[in-house]
């Protein structure tokens, strides 16, 4: 389990430190922008466009329907993949967490699948699903399903037994035990799993688009490279990075919110 | 003990059952045998390819790239982690960066790297390093945090110098966490490099899979694919076992 919990734990902090943190964050952002500018300058714009140029290009790009078309294709595939991963992973994790034996049998298999380079399996997905939306979604699910499952499974296993006993004492039925006791108790871990599955589903969908697809941001990225359209590639990377970081920050906040409510 | 043995047996049975199921589905024709090769033929294809030496060059290429990326990531990550750990202010500044690093699909930088460094080994190594290093940094930080203060005090009492404290006290105490980071780094480097070869490159195992796919040579594709998967699972299992042994030795002493 600890294999997947990668991020450093951000401890709660007093208010006075917030100012310093904001300053630090500003400095780090400025440094990253400076690095970007530097690399862009040093290579004379053959590989990366500097920040300002990228933003200018992006401002034009968002006015074209082409961009929204590709963005929409990626978002659609991603939304379906993430929804399937979340619901399926939650159900599977609850099931395996409650059936101890099945959980013991399945956990190493899932963890093994998690560390395997799944890109190599993409041709199989393409051959089975055909080109198009379903292949991207299937690939996204392959990446995103396992983290939610493993996190939910782990959370249920480490659940204090007193909670289950209390539920029994209160004569809650199975469904109530699940929805009123288990899921709320495991919520912080589940949110964590969802956060990781979020980024991995996105990765899966993007890789799918990069390899063999006619639509989506991943396709736009690769076609930008093929046409030597440097501003286009840089803009797409920028959009994906900003979107991913924002979503992740939001979910980190959400996770801290759920764990604070004891 | 007997329960854990049962678990292992059932697990093996489940895996064997899945393979057998796939075999039957392919043979009967429910799964299109043109799309998915029956597992027995996959193994045959892999053995053929290994025997013929077709994959030798790709193997050398891919494994040396992964090894290089892994080595650089471990060195950079451990060093970086130690430095960041020593400067709390720096750590506070970098924490949010580390927390959201893996949210960004590192892989999307690959086209930029290719444009920057040209097609070849270098962008793949950089991609592997980019995706593996932060895991090592994070685990180094966790490992150094986990060193009990009493050990550092003992070192001071024994008047050990900085280097010897690090080598004799801090490193052994932090090793299990560090090892977890190395394990992750290996699988990230592996995934990064093979994905890079797969999408855009002219050589390597990932490339040979995508080349076989594009030329409709499904035997070659499944052979290479099975080989890559077996190597990945093998490497992970090896590290897993080694890690367990390391943990047990720590318990004994």
CATH number at residue A106: 1.10.3720.10
B86-134 confidence digits (pLDDT tens): 888 888 888 878 878 888 888 888 888 888 888 888 999 999 999 999 9
**How many Å from the N-terminal Cα to the C-terminal Cα in chain A?**
23
Partners of A27 on chain B (C-beta within 8 Å) are 93
State the complex-level ipTM: 0.79
Q: Using the beta-carbon criterion (under 8 Å), do A28 and B141 form an inter-chain contact? A: no
| B168–chain A nearest CA distance, Å | 26
Cβ <8 Å between B105 and A122: no
In order of A39, B78, B94, the CA distances from A32 in angstroms are 11, 22, 12
Q: With beta carbons under 8 A apart, name residues in chain B contacting A122.
A: 198
Phi, psi at A24, each rounded to 5°: -55, -45
Q: Give the A:B interface size as CB pairs under 8 Å.
A: 170
The answer to whether A82 faces chain B, any CB pair under 8 Å, is no
Q: Is A120 on the interface with B (CB under 8 A)?
A: yes
Tokens of B12: 């093996």
Average pLDDT over residues A16-37: 80
What's chain B's average pLDDT? 85
Q: Tell whether the model's pLDDT for residue B253 goes beyond 70.
A: no
Picking from B186, B45, A220, the residue whose alpha carbon sits closest to that of residue B194 is B186
Neighbours of A169 (CB within 10 A): 9
- Whether A26 shows a pLDDT value over 70: the answer reads yes
Q: Is B10 on the interface with A (CB under 8 A)?
A: yes
**Nearest CB neighbour to B194, from listed A106, A119, A198:** A119
Angstrom distance (rounded) from CA A35 to CA B244: 41
Which pLDDT score is estimated for B63? 92
Q: Which CATH architecture has domain B39-252?
A: Orthogonal Bundle (1.10)
Residue A19 lies in a domain: no
Q: Which phi-psi region, left, alpha or beta, contains residue A50 (left: φ > 0; alpha: ψ -120 to 50)?
A: beta
Q: What does DSSP assign to residue B155? A: H
Q: Find the CB nearest B100 among A2, A230, A249.
A: A249
* A52 assigned to some structural domain: no
Residue A156: closest CA among A230, A104, A197: A104
Q: Which residue shows structure tokens 């159900």?
A: A91
A13 reaches B (C-beta below 8 A): no
Task: Tell me the residue range of the domain where A131 lies.
Answer: 63-260
Contact across the interface for B7 and A207, Cβ inside 8 Å: no
Please check the confidence at residue A2 and state whether its pLDDT lies above 50. Answer: no
- A106 occurs within a structural domain: yes
Residue position matching structure tokens 């090892």: B179
Tell whether A202 lies on the interface with B, counting CB pairs under 8 A.
yes
Nearest chain A residue (CA) to B91: A24
pLDDT tens-digit profile of A90-136?
999 988 988 888 888 888 888 888 888 888 888 888 888 887 888 89
- What is the structure's pLDDT at A259? 66
State the DSSP code for A8. Answer: P
- Dist CA A183 CA A194 (whole Å): 13
Instruction: Please write the tens of the pLDDT for every residue from A169-222.
Output: 988 888 888 888 888 888 888 888 898 899 889 989 988 888 777 888 888 888
| A217: closest chain B residue by CA | B108
Question: In this structure, is residue A53 part of a structural domain?
Answer: no
Q: Report the pLDDT value the prediction gives residue A76, as an integer from 0 to 100.
A: 93
Can you tell me the distance from the alpha carbon of A203 to that of A197, in angstroms, rounded to the nearest whole number?
10
Contact A262, A187 (CB under 8 A): no
Tell me the percentage of chain B whose pLDDT exceeds 90.
14
Per-residue pLDDT for B212 more than 80?
A: yes
């Amino acid at each position: 389990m600890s294999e997947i919990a990668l991020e450093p734990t951000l401890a709660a902090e007093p208010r006075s430190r917030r100012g310093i943190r904001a300053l630090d964050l500003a400095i780090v952002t400025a440094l990253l922008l400076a690095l970007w500018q530097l690399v862009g300058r040093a290579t004379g714009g053959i590989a990366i466009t500097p920040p300002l140029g990228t933003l200018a290009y992006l401002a034009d790009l968002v006015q074209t329907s082409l961009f929204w078309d590709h963005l929409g294709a990626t978002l659609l595939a991603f939304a379906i993949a993430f929804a399937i991963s979340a619901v399926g992973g939650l159900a599977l994790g609850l099931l395996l967490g409650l059936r101890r034996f099945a959980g013991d049998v399945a956990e190493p298999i899932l963890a093994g699948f998690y560390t395997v380079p799944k890109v190599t399996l993409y041709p199989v997905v393409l051959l089975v699903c055909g080109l198009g939306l379903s292949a991207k979604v299937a690939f996204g699910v392959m990446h995103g399903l396992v983290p939610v499952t493993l996190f939910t499974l782990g959370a249920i296993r480490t659940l204090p037994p007193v909670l289950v006993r209390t539920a029994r004492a209160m004569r809650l039925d199975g469904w109530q035990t699940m929805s009123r006791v288990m899921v709320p108790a495991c919520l912080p871990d589940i949110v964590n799993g969802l956060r990781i599955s979020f980024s991995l589903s996105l990765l899966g969908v993007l890789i799918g688009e990069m390899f063999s697809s006619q639509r989506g941001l991943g396709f736009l990225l690769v076609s930008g490279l093929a046409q030597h359209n440097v501003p286009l590639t840089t803009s797409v990377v920028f959009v994906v990075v900003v979107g991913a970081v924002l979503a992740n920050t939001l979910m980190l906040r959400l996770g801290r919110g759920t764990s604070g409510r004891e | 003990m007997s329960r854990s043995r049962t678990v292992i047996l059932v697990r093996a049975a489940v895996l064997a059952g899945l393979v057998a199921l796939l075999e039957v589905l392919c043979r009967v024709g429910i799964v299109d045998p043109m799309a998915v090769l029956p597992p027995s033929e996959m193994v045959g294809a892999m053995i053929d390819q290994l025997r013929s030496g077709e994959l030798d060059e790709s193997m050398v290429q891919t494994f040396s790239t992964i090894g290089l990326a892994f080595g650089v990531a471990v060195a950079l990550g451990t060093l970086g982690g130690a430095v960041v750990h020593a400067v709390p202010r720096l750590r506070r500044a970098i924490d949010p960066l580390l927390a959201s690093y893996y949210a960004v699909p590192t892989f999307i930088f690959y086209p930029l790297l290719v444009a920057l460094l040209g097609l070849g080994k270098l962008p793949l190594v950089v991609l592997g390093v980019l995706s593996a290093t932060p895991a090592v940094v994070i685990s180094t930080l966790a490992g150094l945090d986990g060193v009990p203060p009493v050990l550092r005090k003992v070192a001071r009492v024994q008047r050990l110098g900085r280097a010897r404290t690090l080598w004799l006290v801090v490193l052994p105490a932090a090793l299990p966490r560090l090892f977890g980071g190395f394990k992750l780094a290996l699988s990230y480097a592996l995934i990064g490099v093979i994905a890079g070869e797969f999408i855009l490159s002219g050589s390597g195992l990932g490339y040979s899979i995508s080349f076989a796919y594009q030329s409709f040579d499904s035997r070659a594709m499944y052979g290479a694919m099975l080989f890559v998967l077996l190597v990945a699972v093998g490497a992970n299992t090896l590290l897993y076992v080694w890690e367990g042994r390391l943990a047990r030795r720590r318990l004994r002493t």
